[in-house]
Chain A
Amino acid sequence: MSGTGASLAVQAGVDELTGFHRMRVHTVPPHILRSEFKADFPRRITRRWRDYVQADAATHEIARPESDPYIRYGSTLISALIVADTILIGQIGDGDIVLVRPDGTIESPIPPETRLVGKETHSLSSRDAHLLWRTATLDRENGGVLIAATDGVSDSFDSTAGGEFFTFVKSLVDRVKDFGIESVAGSMAGWLDRYSELASGDDMTIVFVSINPDESIPPSPIHEPEPDEKAPGLTECW
């Protein structure tokens, strides 16, 4: 059920952020918007996800074991809300979210989990999940490309302090600049399949959003990579 749990997590995230935005955007100043997001979002999204899981379990008549009613639906989640001058970010569990500024600077507002053993991660089904969220706010400024990825993507690269993953991220942004976001999106599935095949073997999801995009770049197709052609960032033999 974890696939369903992840879908419900995305739905809960979208619904919660939409509601949060609608209720506050015209009524509170930006600094209050930021502090209210940090104070309320983790608790409200976790509760909403559990409501959705309960509804789904009832639909499918899944008997919920007393001890761990949500564990079968467990999912990590990365959420972001981009408003006029701010980017609000929340994350539970592993994965990466980075913002690449137009000058190439990479901002990584949520540090990686460091105290868990091996591949363990926090999840929406963890005990006290509402306390396990990490939140951050970024100034929107002149935008950039916001990239969120499941752990399978960064696990495909050298894990030392961003290293290869950041190289991949930068090359991704360069391609968005050169070919337009839609063209890059069209080629992404092939690249991720290749990373998975060559490296982590894990399922991968990546979301990238161009904030304040340069409209002057005409979308142009990227040719599909040949079998022996390297995807961006995968430059080392290992």
Chain B
Amino acid sequence: MPLAIGQRVKAELSGTELHVIRKLGEGTQGEVYLVEGTQGYQAVKWYKPEQATKEQRSAVLYLVRTGPPFGAAGRRFIWPLDLVTVQDPSQFGYLMTRIDTQQFAELGEIWAHIKPVPNFSSLCEISYQLANSYRALHLSGHCYRDISAGNLMFDPVTGDVLICDNDNVGVNRQSRCQVWGTMEYMAPEIIRGEADPSTQTDLHSLAVLLFYLWVWHHPFHGEMEYRFHCWDIPAKKKVYGESPVFVFDPENPVNCLPPDPDYAIARERWGYCPSDLQDLFLRAFTDGLHDPSRRVTEGEWQNLFSAIKDRIIACPKCRAENFLEETGRPGSCWYCHITLPAPPSLVVKRPSGEISIALSNGTTIRRRHVSLTPANDDGGAIIGIVVPHPSITGASGIRNTTRTPWNAEFPDGSAAIVSPGRAVPLNPGTTITIDGVVLTIVAPPTTVIP
């Protein structure tokens, strides 16, 4: 039975009473209600009768007692806070924080143009945070088992992520689960009945979700799905589990995109993906399909999205965001097609290797660029931002947005303290020292004319 407006329910572990204010929405497993209690407004997911099983109740209690993964990565999970009950013991739900649906969007709302489309920078951030959070969950010994776009909400402007419906999270390779996700996100070996959900099958689902985010299409929806007039369960098993073929597999074109208007958007958006992102998708949906040990790990996704975000530059003519290729060589703007001037970059030498950040107005330098961050921090804090000079047209600098001064050394040998709020000019050869890490501003590569 659904909850009634005005009904009183009980948060079992805290012993507090909650007052049902209104229904917020309905999902595949239950309804979500706005409730008011001692902690103010929160939300309750209330299970439909067929989902309110003893196993689900135990799973919720386990998650409430365990808590989410630590730090920023864990805070993105809308984790069960308490078991919620009524007098009838066969019914229950769980308490969780309320989501601001004005700020956070579902992918379907982006597709339907209800919320703004995230730019490349936000898309990198969404993807980075997703990988970062699932990495933390997997490191805590849990698997999610139902990764899909239906469980993801994100801020299309900032790229901040929330992961919902965490009640299917379980101990990797141990606990059983009544929801195994939807077939389009399931790893092929689950569909074939050869494996149970695990962190390894989560990696496949994560790759499908990331592909949906970037390409707005399913990686196996090509000629094979197109030709199935009857899209029933056997057809889905064939396409997702028994003979999955990546639509952009250059070695096997059997499932390429048909020449139909439905597929134009996928072709177009695949073209926007930088080549190193395309390469990872290719591995995830070719080698990774047949050999789970070859799947792209959360850490690999995390590093990739951090790296490609550092290669975004704004077109000087139309302001569209563009990815520089790994080589740093200039390409042409995807929107207005002018040849992009190569930008200066900031090279950071760290014990783990050198990274290069393309510099244009609006580029952000984050904590993770200069230091190894602890497990409970994703390093997303902005420590510097490229800003235009207030009076010299065309000149820019990196503004110190931290509370501590930086040291700068200029090519002529002079030095300066860069106080918080001040900016260092983008003068090639200038070095900036932040927390003992040296960052060097490097001139754009010169174009060699043969």
Q: Report A's interface with B, CB cutoff 8 A.
A: 19, 23-24, 27-32, 34-36, 38-40, 43-44, 46-47, 50, 85, 105, 107, 109, 111, 113-116, 122, 127-128, 130-139, 141
Residues 257-282 of chain B: 1 if any A CB is under 8 Å from the residue's CB, otherwise 0? Answer: 00011101100000000000000000
Do the beta carbons of B26 and A31 come within 8 Å of each other? no
11 examples of A-B residue contacts, CB within 8 angstroms? A23-B233, A27-B233, A29-B50, A31-B28, A35-B148, A111-B114, A131-B216, A134-B108, A137-B26, A138-B26, A139-B2
Tell me the nearest residue of chain B to A115, going by C-beta.
B113
Tell me the nearest residue of chain A to B268, going by C-beta.
A128
Do the beta carbons of A43 and B182 come within 8 Å of each other? no
Majority SS at the chain B contact face: loop
Complex CA–CA separation, A109 to B27 (angstroms): 11
Q: Which of B51, B148, B182 has most chain A Cβ within 10 Å?
A: B182
Do the beta carbons of A137 and B28 come within 8 Å of each other? yes
Complex contacts, A111 vs chain B, CB 8 Å: 114
Contact of B114 among A113, A128, A137 (CB under 8 A): A113
Do the beta carbons of A31 and B184 come within 8 Å of each other? no
Do the beta carbons of A31 and B51 come within 8 Å of each other? yes
Complex contacts, B150 vs chain A, CB 8 Å: 35, 38
Is the C-beta of B232 less than 8 angstroms from some C-beta in chain A? Answer: yes
Complex CA–CA separation, A36 to B148 (angstroms): 12
Contact of A32 among B27, B111, B148, B182 (CB under 8 A): B182
Contact of A130 among B51, B184, B230, B262 (CB under 8 A): B262
Do the beta carbons of B112 and A31 come within 8 Å of each other? no
Contact of A134 among B2, B5, B23, B112 (CB under 8 A): B112
Tell me the nearest residue of chain B to A134, going by C-beta.
B112
Complex contacts, B48 vs chain A, CB 8 Å: 30-31, 85, 139
Seed contacts A30-B48, A39-B182, A105-B5; 4 additional CB < 8 Å A-B pairs: A24-B233, A31-B28, A31-B50, A139-B2
Tell me the nearest residue of chain B to A138, going by C-beta.
B26
Residues 83-121 of chain B: 1 if any A CB is under 8 Å from the residue's CB, otherwise 0? Answer: 000000000000000000000000010011110000000
Do the beta carbons of B114 and A23 come within 8 Å of each other? no
Complex CA–CA separation, A23 to B233 (angstroms): 8
Is the C-beta of B179 less than 8 angstroms from some C-beta in chain A? Answer: yes
CB distance from B300 to the nearest CB of A (A): 27
Is the C-beta of B172 less than 8 angstroms from some C-beta in chain A? Answer: no
Complex CA–CA separation, A85 to B112 (angstroms): 27
A24-B233, A31-B29 known; A127 vs B261 contact (CB < 8 Å): yes
A29-B50, A130-B262, A139-B31 known; A23 vs B230 contact (CB < 8 Å): yes
Do the beta carbons of A115 and B114 come within 8 Å of each other? yes
Complex contacts, A34 vs chain B, CB 8 Å: 27-28
Contact of A44 among B148, B216, B231 (CB under 8 A): B231
Do the beta carbons of B264 and A127 come within 8 Å of each other? yes
Tell me the nearest residue of chain B to A19, going by C-beta.
B230
A19-B230, A139-B2 known; A131 vs B50 contact (CB < 8 Å): no
Do the beta carbons of A132 and B112 come within 8 Å of each other? yes
Closest 3 pairs between A and B when the two form their complex, measured CB to CB: A131-B111, A23-B232, A31-B28
Complex contacts, B108 vs chain A, CB 8 Å: 38, 134-135
A109-B26, A130-B262 known; A31 vs B179 contact (CB < 8 Å): yes
Complex contacts, A44 vs chain B, CB 8 Å: 231
Complex contacts, B216 vs chain A, CB 8 Å: 128, 131
Tell me the nearest residue of chain A to B185, going by C-beta.
A39
Complex CA–CA separation, A36 to B233 (angstroms): 10
